[in-house]
Amino acid sequence: MSSTSSERARRRRPRLSDEAAVHVRELIISGQLKAGEYIRPEVVADDLGMSATPAREGLLQLQTEGFLKVEPRRGFVVSPLSPKDVSDTFEAQALLAGELCARTAGLATSADVKALQNIQTRLEEAAERGDLAEVEELNFEFHRAIYHISDAPKIHWLLASTLRYAPRRFYPTIGGWPDASSHDHHAILKALRASDSEAARQAMAGHIRRAGELLAQHLSTDR
């Protein structure tokens, strides 16, 4: 690998503290870590194969985001996260993602739509095989491609701040979510093929809201 390629690979690689934050954040959002539970940097470090220092930095990041709080002499504890908190966040995400999808409908070429359809076909094939990790990755790729085509980087940046509440690693295990992705993506693709911005907005916003409802329901029943 050339020095330039090595530099690009290093830039793409997340910091260890960010990796720790993502790991614990998704455990909280998916309900695997519950309000009031304590979590130690050493445990996170062991789980991820890193030292305790970046693990602690990741937990401090989650403290600033409101996912954790620190109790004197006891350490990090998971903050309450209500289903309403999740629903509110997904509502904001639905508005932003809907706007991006509406803009994509006015810009997407037939080649763009064909590429999106190919991702969706692969997603459904992975779902049939029960390959949940592949479903998760292809779902992320589907949305990322749509948001990229929209050519609205500032809206995309705002949307990214809400995606902390979307548990990428665990979402396929949440009841109804894989089926919702398959069904809802077809409505999005139909709107994009027709270059129908309003239909695209409604299809994407509805998709995100349903995802939020499923996650909120999962959190409600898992407590």
* Domain boundaries defined on the chain: 3-78, 83-221
Mind listing the pLDDT tens digit for each residue in 22-50?
A: 899 888 887 789 899 999 999 999 999 99
Report how far residue 183's alpha carbon sits from residue 174's, in angstroms, rounded to the nearest whole number.
Answer: 16
Residue 175 has what pLDDT?
Answer: 66
Residue 85 has what pLDDT?
Answer: 83
Worst-scoring range by mean pLDDT, 99-103, 182-186, 198-202?
182-186
Ramachandran class of 53: left when φ > 0, alpha when ψ lies in -120 to 50, beta otherwise: alpha
The answer, yes or no, to whether residue 1 has pLDDT greater than 70, is no
Top CATH class of 3-78 equals mainly alpha
Q: Does the reported pTM lie above 0.85?
A: no
Residue 171 has what pLDDT?
Answer: 62
Residue 173 has what pLDDT?
Answer: 63
Residue 9 has what pLDDT?
Answer: 44
Phi, psi of 36 (to 5 degrees): 95, -15
Q: Angle at CA 174, nearest 5°, toward 173 and 178?
A: 75
Tokens representing 107 are: 């810009």
Residue 11 has what pLDDT?
Answer: 43
Report how far residue 74's alpha carbon sits from residue 38's, in angstroms, rounded to the nearest whole number.
Answer: 8
Mind listing the pLDDT tens digit for each residue in 123-155?
A: 999 888 888 888 888 989 999 999 999 999 999
CATH superfamily of the domain spanning 83-221: GntR ligand-binding domain-like (1.20.120.530)
